[in-house]
Amino acid sequence: MKRILVIGGSRYFGKSLVTRLRDEGNTVTVLNRGSSAPPPGVSRLLADRDDEDALRAALARRDFDVVVDQVCYTPFQAAVARRVFAGRAGRYVMTSTMEVYDPATLPTGSAPHTVPVAEDHLDPTRPPHALPERSSRPMPSEAHAYAEGKRSAEAVFLREPPFPYVSVRTAHVLGGGRAEFTGRLAHYVQRIGAGTPVDVHATPYGTSFIHHLEMAAFLHWTVRQTFTGPVNAASHGAPDVLGLCAAVAERLGRRPRYRVVAAGEEASPFSFDRAYAMDNGRAAALGFAFGRVADWLPGAVEETARATA
């Protein structure tokens, strides 16, 4: 059994991951700022991960077979973790995002996409992607800040990593009813249920999704593996926003209504005017069996409908 530290892990699929690791018999510790208590049988360390001295003090002399970093959003956070966990982590797994591939947030000069997007499409350690560990570059939007922060955090770890390192590029995570704190699926349930038009692009592209329990299962599986580098995590199938609306409408017994937005205008979540659905072939070749969006999406809609009733 392994000694595992989960940074974050207090909600959604991170919470499910912690209980899975505990139930397998591992010695599990979570590190956070004290927002919520861990489940029984799981230890906790209190520290602000941005405060390097406080983080070192909280860890004391501890080391871990695996560190799972659920809440690394910036190159500064990655640089702190890289220094602090050098010599302490036998393996480091960072939860990243499919947003690193988003053409709308990629720097000028990036290579054109092939879809679905495989891991080797993006090397964040090479120009034009690589950023300094403390970036002062202005971010034009929250989406740009999130995507660029994750890309540059990956770059910090991937440049001469002091431990075996994995970045898990997650698809859009759905399911769990109220636990799905982003409210993106609830957006559709509420609008379609009320007969309110859903804002969509004229020709929306498909995107990648994964169920929250499948995401926890994938991270749990990754902890037990030895591969390194980026890996995409996505269920099979890439429905567009119209397919998502159809699944919601079928559960609610309503006909969806749409409002087509102009180019550049903000649309509903998961309506995309560019393609970057992910290829999950690397993870599948390594041995993980993904489910299909079409199989779990109706249940996720049902959960959300009950939670928002």
pLDDT, one tens digit per residue, over 265-284 is 889 999 999 999 999 999 99
Does 121 share its domain with 219? yes
Sign of CA dihedral 11, 14, 20, 23: negative
Residues 257 and 245 in one domain: yes
What average pLDDT does range 149-173 have in this prediction?
Answer: 95
- Whether 232 has a pLDDT exceeding 90, the answer reads yes
- Helix, strand, coil % in the chain, rounded to nearest 5: 35, 20, 45
Strand-pair category, 66-69 with 209-211: unpaired
Residues 269, 120 within the same domain: no
pLDDT tier at 141 (50, 70, 90 boundaries)?
A: low
Distance CA 294, CA 59 (A): 43
pLDDT tens for residues 32-55? 988 778 889 999 999 999 999 999
Q: Are residues 146 and 97 in the same domain?
A: yes
**Number of separate domains in the chain:** 2
Nearest to 42 by CA among 75, 64, 79, 9: 9
Quote the strand ranges of 72-140, DSSP E. Answer: 92-97
Judged by average pLDDT, the poorest of 45-49, 58-62, 260-264 is: 260-264
Q: Are residues 185 and 300 in the same domain?
A: yes
Average pLDDT over residues 143-153: 91
pLDDT score, position 139: 46
Question: How would DSSP label each residue in 190-232?
Answer: HHHHHTPPEEE-SSPBP--EEEHHHHHHHHHHHHT----EEEE
Coil/strand/helix, residue 30: strand
| pLDDT, mean of residues 129-133 | 65
172 vs 262, higher pLDDT:
172
pLDDT surpassing 50 at residue 75: yes
Is 2 in contact with 66 (CB distance < 8 Å)?
yes
| pLDDT tier for residue 108 given thresholds of 50, 70 and 90 | confident
Name 45's bridge partners.
31
Residues 86 and 36 in one domain: yes
- What range defines the domain where residue 297 resides? 178-207+237-277+291-308
Upper half-sphere CA count for residue 130 (Cβ side, 13 Å): 9
pLDDT at 19: 96
Please tell me which residue, 5 or 160, carries the higher pLDDT value. Answer: 5
How is residue 85 written in tokens? 């966990």
> What CATH number did the domain enclosing 120 receive?
3.40.50.720
3-state secondary structure of 260: strand
Task: With CA atoms as reference, report the closest residue to 228 among 70, 71, 90.
Answer: 90
Identify each DSSP E strand in the chain by its residue range. Answer: 3-7, 27-32, 43-46, 66-69, 92-97, 165-170, 172-174, 198-200, 209-211, 229-233, 258-260
Same domain, 19 and 136: yes
- Indicate the average pLDDT of the chain: 92
**Residue 138: its pLDDT value, please?**
40
Burial of 195 (0-12, 13-18, 19+ CB in 10 A): exposed
At residue 65, the pLDDT reads: 98
Residue 262 has pLDDT above 50, yes or no: yes
Note whether 51 and 185 are same-domain residues: no
Q: Tell whether 282 is covered by a domain.
A: no
